[in-house]
Copies of this chain bind each other. A is one copy, B any other.
């Protein structure tokens, strides 16, 4: 199947690797506004050729948009303007409401399957692409009734081939939940990195940086080019999640300050439950081997 990938970074490049290996994509056209990234992606064999956006989306079976969500607001309508009637278009953006809104009235809206694979690393660019990046992770598909059934089926098949479980929800539910589970941890890591760097004797601190510190602050390495637009598009829900987080931090801080030892024990015991929750089965999730998919709808 001829597949066009717009944006040859971590996500686009990793998709290229897996989709080619699985023979889901037999020819991969790359499109990237960054010429160095395009050249690199060609060089390391992620794509078979580089084309302009207009050329690349014509006469192709599938277009995958994997670029920062601010850029996508411009690129997605252009893509739908230029694809032929049978072409499926999907995206990998971490926010969904504004993106879907941008093509709400487009005559080819049904060609578009809005998606968000919950996977990534703190690195970026084509050289950061990894095989199996998506395996055993979750892909969100939003407002699936607004996509044509053939287009939806093709994207479901793609995620299954990548080894992903699929969760279906409205764009609003996705933006709200993702604020807590992905955008908040990034904001928390950015603030932690800034807090520790602001400390006077920072050299000692960095000498001591332990595994615990490194894992907690890892996401603070993530690129602002990708994350700033996510925060902008999901502003209200991210602010809500930060308010909830700050409230819990303040409670922990006050409890410590006021020597409320029993309450602190309770707070730690409650936090510990995250182990069972994260390591247990997820009964609410659609496993890829199941026929009947779970719909998250309000």
Question: Is the pair B206, A278 in contact by a Cβ cutoff of 8 Å?
Answer: yes
Task: Give how many A residues have a beta carbon under 8 Å from the other chain's beta carbons.
Answer: 98
Nearest CB in chain B to that of A219: its residue: B212
Question: Is the pair A204, B296 in contact by a Cβ cutoff of 8 Å?
Answer: yes
Kindly identify, within residues 268 to 286 of chain A, every residue whose CB is under 8 Å from any CB belonging to chain B.
Answer: 268-275, 277-278, 282-285
Max count, chain B CB within 10 A of own CB: residue among A140, A248, A265 = A248
User: Counting CB contacts under 8 A, is A157 at the interface?
Assistant: no
Question: Is the pair B250, A246 in contact by a Cβ cutoff of 8 Å?
Answer: yes
Number of copies: 2
Nearest CB in chain B to that of A200: its residue: B176
A208-B140 in contact given A182-B213, A189-B216, A192-B188 (Cβ < 8 Å): yes
Question: Is the pair B272, A223 in contact by a Cβ cutoff of 8 Å?
Answer: yes
A221-B190 in contact given A167-B207, A204-B177 (Cβ < 8 Å): no
**A218 to B213 alpha-carbon distance, docked (Å):** 11
A118-B208 in contact given A187-B249, A203-B284, A235-B259 (Cβ < 8 Å): yes
**A190 to B275 alpha-carbon distance, docked (Å):** 11
List chain B residues, Cβ under 8 A from A185.
192, 212-213, 216-217
Question: Is the pair B140, A197 in contact by a Cβ cutoff of 8 Å?
Answer: no
Nearest CB in chain B to that of A185: its residue: B216
Cβ-neighbour of A218 out of B215, B235, B253, B283 (below 8 A): B215
Question: Is the pair B242, A253 in contact by a Cβ cutoff of 8 Å?
Answer: yes
Question: Is the pair A268, B228 in contact by a Cβ cutoff of 8 Å?
Answer: yes
A190-B244 in contact given A207-B282, A261-B228, A296-B204 (Cβ < 8 Å): no
The 26 sampled A-B contact pairs (Cβ below 8 Å) are A138-B208, A138-B210, A173-B204, A180-B205, A181-B210, A182-B210, A187-B253, A187-B256, A191-B249, A193-B272, A194-B248, A195-B241, A203-B283, A206-B282, A215-B218, A216-B219, A217-B274, A217-B278, A220-B272, A220-B275, A228-B264, A228-B265, A232-B261, A239-B253, A242-B252, A245-B249
